[in-house]
A and B are shown apart, each in its own frame.
Chain A
Amino acid sequence: MTRVRTAPLAGAAALVGLAAVLVGHSLENGPARLGAAAPSGTGGGSGPGGSSPPAATTPPAASSKVSGSASGALEQYGYGELSVAVRAEGGKIVSVTVTKLLTADQYSQQIANEVIPMLRSEVLHAQSAQISAVSGATYTSEAYAASLQSALDKLHLK
């Protein structure tokens, strides 16, 4: 009835206490890891090939490929402050950069440095997974604004 995965989700149990860390890097091996190019209009790789963007956002871009930047709000965590900028070219996320990282103390900085390299592939993994939406425990509007779902909505990428 219940199955248990043998490979743990994360080996770093000690990092569980850190609320969240965002990562930035430039593509080293080209865009091969990214998912299929976004189709025309604002539809994504999965879900309806729709022409209607989410209600709360600005109208869809006239061209079929989205380029631009969006900045996430400065987010205050238990150990410091982070904000992230997402840059897209030709309909693909090409970089996610930490624009501001302030840590409360040396220990937090050390954790942040250890965790950041582990997160690199996972940020792009979410996009290459070609998802239509994200389900997670998001209790506040502020947390939503800092979330992956929000960044995807802003860039009209799915």
Chain B
Amino acid sequence: MGTVVSYRLEPGEIGDAAARAALGASIRELHRIDRLFSTFAPDSAMSRFRVGEAVDEVEHEEITSVLRLCGRAREITAGWFDPWAMPGGVDPTGLVKGWAVERAASILARAGVEAALVNGGGDIASVGPATRGQPWRIGIRHPWRQEALACVVELEGGGAVATSGTYERGAHLIDPFTRRRAGARHGALGSVARVVSATVVGPSLALADAMATALAVAGSAGVSVAASLVEAGYESYRISADGREEATSGFPFAAAAAPA
């Protein structure tokens, strides 16, 4: 995926040895998923699948379940997340990263690890609460001040947070309706309305990842998407290129946080 995944974990009662074993299994799962879903490797199962070539049963089941989640995300986001509208064939990459990190975290959870955070390029899945039953405090990276935070959010144990944006150099998101780079529809005058950072908090990191991607692409049209997300149980927060911030009313800003 080209993404760095970092772990922090508190073994708890299972002890260090069992925790390390779980960590190893979790990392191997990430590599396995990467091999299966990589759209850069021409012989990966996903690459073969998208051009109609044969894949084995296990690969088929995994791909199908990911695409089912993609379908749900497409529906909730009214098509602003649409892997079937990507050039080159169906491309679930915008959801797979969150899905993979979620799978990696669930391995730790099943092993009985007391608490953990798995962070894959800014997509974060949590296991258990932070110390003393407190929610996790997660900083949201400032879109154009690299060492600063835009805000801090509180994440309940087991919850997920995903951030997507258009500020990383070289990164681009495709607008599924125009099939061009997101933001191209706005032109020069509309560029300040461009969403440079979108954060989604909710139970599933796979869906949060897709939803954040949709919000980053949708720009000002994201207001209605954000409302749909709330109905599905996901809160969101968007930062525009002109510095304006919008958040759904239940978005879990940490009480003591101050904006950058």
Chain A residues with a Cβ under 8 A of chain B: 1-5, 7-13, 15-16, 18-23, 43, 46-56, 77-78, 84, 96, 115, 119, 122-123, 125-126, 129-141, 143-151, 153, 158
Contact = CB atoms under 8 A, between A and B. Distances in A.
Contact of B141 (A52, A119, A148): A148
A117 to B, nearest CB: 12
Q: Which 4 pairs between the two chains have the least Cβ-Cβ distance?
A: A136-B141, A48-B10, A122-B148, A137-B165
Contact of A52 (B9, B243, B245): B9
Contacts of B109: none
Contacts, number: 240
A94 to B, nearest CB: 15
B177 interface: no
Given A1-B227, A4-B244, A139-B121, A9 B6 contact: no
Nearest to B7: A55
Tell me whether chain A's interface is mostly helix, strand or loop, or mixed. Answer: loop
Given A3-B249, A135-B123, A139-B170, 12 more contacts: A9-B142, A9-B244, A21-B146, A47-B131, A47-B137, A130-B137, A131-B138, A131-B149, A134-B138, A134-B139, A134-B140, A138-B122
10 contacts: A2-B223, A7-B259, A49-B10, A119-B147, A122-B147, A122-B260, A123-B148, A133-B136, A138-B168, A144-B3
A139 B2 contact: yes
Contacts of B75: none
A152 to B, nearest CB: 10
